[in-house]
Structure 1
Amino acid sequence: MLQFFTKKTFLKDLLDGFVDMHSHILPGIDDGAKSIAESIDLIAGLQALGVKQFMPTPHVMQDFYPNNDETIGNAYQQLLYALDAKTRSEITINPAAEYMLDDNFLKQLETQEMFTLKGHYLLIEMSYFQPPINLEEIIYKIKTKGYFPILAHPERYSFYHNAKEQYLKMKQLGCFFQLNMLSLSAHYGKNVEKAANYLIENDLIDFIATDTHNLNHIKKLSNLTLNKGLAKKLPAIIEKTCSTFSVI
């Protein structure tokens, strides 16, 4: 009896020339790369997946990672200096930041220039335990300052899993959504994978990124396969991500 097999679609097959607008590859300033050597290894691994342009987004958290112009700029310059000429000629690196919506965020918004992605897009995240009480006010202030808020990995906030109407509310407030690629697997748990599929199926995801912190993430990304539904939906999200954030 003949058996017919369809070829698996690997996520990496869709990433040639990809613009990764969320990762933690800058050395020694958050929970991502711990050293310059590790940063270089992460870049090489992401290049092998197809990433061409890198937008490192170190955490900015008041109590854990109080990053600023100096810490981000220094880490960026150290990394550039350490890269060989061949790698520098093959890629671009333009740092931004991922801002936790903590008690210090509104003060930062008022008193300093923010590290944004191309086009004044501002990458933000929330606590995994609960959203800020004044979330609507924060989103409004971000927009009045001329920034476009992108909520990082909305699928990972478990408090929205059984309150999916909150996703729509966030979109109505003018918030863009960025999905983590590893959320398309069980890496963060089955509930996160289900939420990721829900958001994609309902056309709520605007952008996608690796959110790479370590080499294990890259290994999992290299082996990640897609079902037919995802293989059909993801190319448009990937294209929108690249066209929005490409600097070439």
Structure 2
Amino acid sequence: MPATSSEAETRGDPPADRFRYTDLHCHILPGMDDGVSSWDEAIALAKNAVKSGAFRVVATPHVMRGVYAPRPGDIKEKVLELKSRLRDSGISLAVTPGSEVYLASGTAREYRAGKLQTIGDTGYLLVELPPLRLPAYARSELNALRAAGAGVILAHPERNRGLCRNLKVLTELLDYGVLFQINAGSLTGAFGKEAQGCAEFLVREGLVHFIGSDAHSGLPAGVSGVGADISEALERLVRLSPSGSAFLDQVEARVMRLLSGKL
């Protein structure tokens, strides 16, 4: 028997015509960083994600030396509990373990030691930079990560003023093999006009490889923090991209290759 409208609303089911996607960047694990603070909020975030069209999220708690230090085992344990709670709540949302690693001197060493959770154990790290610049140690660390066999996906490059104001550096990162993940909220102005302009440029130039909500809250977008419902941003992305809706298909196909180890 089909679900009633009230049952679908309780689960956060998306409209039938909504694009189904993977949210590559989501702070959905409670008590690990500055993301959701409780399991109830994690469930609320999951409902918002499903309503938006997500069928999978990658759980990416911050890894920042001296601030947040979740290890792969800790992250996977939380992911298992979240999956159980989602099943109990009747929410159909796959969850893949990952992390958002603040690039620092010694990050490659931690990767080689197995201390960093890659996205779905694929060897690809979601990496964050300081917000204003490309630090002096970045090039050597990126080289060291590449030499160690790691793939690097740069989280929200559009929010880094130093990158957005220097296209040469953006190009250099691409030459290093770095892939770009933009925050959906950047396309709707959630992070300011400069980040929005940079995100739009990256979309138009075909330089967006992945999309994430960077959700830290179970509340709807615009209420508090960054929410998981990115449907408005996806519609804007389709309008901006020269390839239209095919661009979203390309991004999702890339996610599937990433998770299957074929990227």
**Aligned: 1:192 with 2:195:** yes
How many Å separate the matches in 2 of 1:196 and 1:184?
A: 6
Q: TM-score, normalised by structure 2?
A: 0.80
Aligned Cα root-mean-square deviation (Å):
2.5
Aligned to 1:66: 69
How many Å separate the matches in 2 of 1:108 and 1:227?
A: 35
How many Å separate the matches in 1 of 2:137 and 2:182?
A: 23
Cα 1:14/1:116, change in 2 over 3 Å: farther
Matching residue's letter, 1:102: A
Deviations 1:21-61 (A, max 9, x none): 11111111111111111000000110001100121111110
2:141 to 138, 145, 149: 138
1:244 to 235, 249, 254: 254
Matching residue's letter, 2:138: L
The farther-off stretch of 208-217 and 31-40 is 208-217
Q: TM-score, normalised by structure 1?
A: 0.84
1:13 positional shift? 9.3
How many Å separate the matches in 2 of 1:175 and 1:122?
A: 10
How many Å separate the matches in 2 of 1:145 and 1:56?
A: 23
Deviations 1:196-220 (A, max 9, x none): 1111122221111211111233377
**Aligned: 1:175 with 2:185:** no
Secondary structure class of the residue paired with 1:177: strand
Query: What pairs up with 1:99-114 in 2 under 5 angstroms?
Result: 99-112=101-114, 114=116
Q: Which portions of structure 1, spanning 4 or more consecutive aligned residues, are displaced by more than 4 angstroms? A: 12-15, 222-225, 231-234
Deviations 1:122-150 (A, max 9, x none): 21111113322121221112122222111
Secondary structure class of the residue paired with 2:194: helix
Report which structure shows greater RCO (CA 8 Å, sep ≥6): 1
Gaps of 5+ in 1: 1-11
The farther-off stretch of 197-206 and 21-30 is 197-206
Deviations 1:86-145 (A, max 9, x none): 636x22111111111024423312311532225432211111133221212211121222
How many Å separate the matches in 2 of 1:70 and 1:110?
A: 16
Query: What pairs up with 1:12-91 in 2 under 5 angstroms?
Result: 16-85=19-88, 87=90, 90-91=92-93
Aligned to 1:221: 230
